[in-house]
Chain A
Amino acid sequence: DTGVSQDPRHKITKRGQNVTFRCDPISEHNRLYWYRQTLGQGPEFLTYFQNEAQLEKSRLLSDRFSAERPKGSFSTLEIQRTEQGDSAMYLCASSLVGRGGIGNQPQHFGDGTRLSIL
Chain B
Amino acid sequence: DAKTTQPNSMESNEEEPVHLPCNHSTISGTDYIHWYRQLPSQGPEYVIHGLTSNVNNRMASLAIAEDRKSSTLILHRATLRDAAVYYCILRYSGGYQKVTFGTGTKLQVIP
Contacts and interface: CB of A to CB of B under 8 A. Distances in A.
A11 to B, nearest CB: 15
A101 B94 contact: yes
A104 B103 contact: no
Contacts of B102: 42
Given A102-B91, A102-B96, A41 B103 contact: yes
Which range contains the number of B residues in contact with the other chain?
A: 20 to 34
Contacts, number: 73
A110 B38 CA distance: 11
Contact of B93 (A91, A101, A111): A101
B45 interface: yes
A56 B103 contact: no
B51 A109 contact: no
Interface of A: 4, 31, 35, 40-45, 48, 50, 55-56, 58, 91, 93, 100-104, 106-112
Interface of B: 30-32, 34, 36, 41-46, 49, 51, 85, 87, 91-96, 98-104
